[in-house]
Structures are given as structure tokens and as C-alpha cells.
Amino acid sequence: MHWLILVGIAFIAIGTLLTYLGSNYQSNKVSNEIINKIDSTNEKIKELKKDPEINKGELQIIENEFDSWASRFVQNKDSYKLKIEKDNVNSKETEINLSHTWLPFYENFFNTLDKMIKAYNTHSKHKIVVGTYSLPSSLFSEEVNNFIFKVSFKENMHWAIFLTSLGNQDYEILPMISICQLSQSPFDKQFSKKKVALFNADLSFYPNLQNSKIRIFYNRFRIKEIQDEYDLINYQAAIKDLIRLLFEHQLALLN
């Protein structure tokens, strides 16, 4: 029973903090979900207090600790608020700098693939159909998870290329470039990102590594010619070589 009280008190503490922050940073749009959680937890605590097995002395100690925390928080809330604002400013600055440094890598990937497809279409009777795309201005905006580059090789062979944000708060890894080979056309109005891929390769950038590399991960069979890592000292050549191998592998399966 005692652990239930601890959990309940923790919910109240966290809920109180989130409600305070929500009222200050979301223009008083305090989440109903948080308020409901606090009310629900308070009701549970009231019920627990009625339990004759509860050690009233231990419960009083826990409540005193919570009151002490709440008192300290109220007294120092301005400093907490200032710290959070400072952290937010620092995070935004980090996101701007990372986007400025790394967006050229993403642009080069999609520009290279687009040029390669156009060159192939010029010399081949079989035409590959591609969609249009526009990269987000920030690698940390909500637009990242809405990005898709569509390629159709034939009726049952397509690529859907996404940017997948991992929501990493420490900026240890940037959004992945996910190349999915599908039997369903990504141009189909019923197309869903949840569709199971026949093949999936994720290209990941790690900005904090001393020697930055692009790493390749597979959820199905791997392509033997493709390395697990590519050095990004000369990233344009590395990306061109990687795309060529992926493209050649897919074209070999056309007939």
C-alpha cells in the first residue's frame, strides 16, 4: 500500500509542475489531461487514507516532504522559470546551428537521387516516375515527419523516402533518411506510412561524433555492396556512391 501512496504523491508533484509550466508557456492552455490526472490522483489518495492498514505516521512524513517540496518550488519558481527559458533559448540555438550545418547533407542526398533518376530516364525507354519534394527549413520542425519523396520504378516496385525524427533531446542523432521499398504505390491516395516495407534502409547522421559518419541500418536483407558506414569528410562522393549502389540494386530487379 505504501508504494501506492508514493506513486500518488509523485503524480501530484509532477502534475502541479506541468500545470504551472503549461499556464506560463502555453498561453494558459493548461492540458485537461493533466488536470484530470491530478483530480484522479487526489481521489485515490483520499481513498488510501481510509485504509486501516495505512501507517499514519509514514503517510504524514510523505505529506510533509511533499509540502516542503511545494514550498521550495513556489519560493523559487521565478528561478525555475528563468532556467527553463534559458534552456529553451539554448535548445533553439543548437537546432538552428545543426540545421544550418547538416541540411546540405540532406539536400545533397535528394538532389543526387533526383539527378540520377533523370539521367536514367534520358537513356532508357523505361521511365521512372518521381514526385516533387521540399525539404523543411529546420531539421527539428514538425514538417520533418510529413516529408516524403516518392519514386515509382514499376507497378509493384516503389520507393517511399521519409525523414524520421527520433525526438532526441540531446541532439546525438539527426532525423534519419528512411528508404522503403514497397509494392504499394506511394502516389496512391490510400498510401500509409504504416505499410510494411519489403526493404528498409535507414541512413543516420551523428553530429556529435568526433569523426562524423553516415551509418546504414536495415530492417530486412542487406545489400552486400553497401558499407555499414561512410566517411563524411567528402560527403558528396560518399552519398553519391551510396545512392548509386541502392539505385543499381533496385534497377537490377526491374525485369
pLDDT tens for 116-137 read 999 999 998 889 999 998 999 9
Half-sphere exposure of residue 28, counting CA atoms within 13 Å on the CB side? 0
Q: Specify the DSSP element, H or E, that contains 58.
A: helix 56-75
DSSP 1: -
List the grid coordinates of 70: 511545494
Return the ∠ at Cα 195 (arms to 194 and 196), rounded to 5°. 110
At position 82, the amino acid (one-letter code) is: L
Measuring CA to CA, which residue among 34, 250, 16, 36 is closest to residue 154?
Answer: 250
Find the helix or strand (DSSP H, E) in which 161 lies. Answer: strand 157-164
User: How crowded is residue 67: how many other Cβ atoms within 10 Å of its Cβ?
Assistant: 10
pLDDT value at residue 26? 45
* 33 pLDDT more than 80: no
Going from the C-alpha of 247 to that of each of 16, 192, 252, the distances in angstroms are 54, 23, 9
pLDDT at 107 over 90: yes
Report strand pairing: 176-182 vs 199-205: antiparallel
Specify the pLDDT at position 240. Answer: 92
Q: pTM for the full model?
A: 0.65
Contact residues for 149 (Cβ-Cβ < 8 A; gap 6+): 110, 113, 130, 131, 133, 159, 160, 161
Over residues 62-81, the pLDDT tens digits come to: 666 666 666 776 666 666 67
Spatial distance between the Cα atoms of 100 and 94, rounded to a whole number of angstroms: 10
Please report the pLDDT score of residue 219 as a whole number.
Answer: 80
> Looking at 31-40, 63-72, 200-209, 231-240, which range is the least confident one?
31-40
43-52, 136-145, 174-183, 243-252: least confidently modelled range: 43-52
Q: Is the pLDDT of residue 28 over 50?
A: no
Q: How far is Cα 23 from Cα 81, in angstroms, rounded to an integer?
A: 12
CA–CA distance, 202 with 211 (Å, rounded to integer): 19
The C-alpha cell that represents 244 in the structure block: 548509386
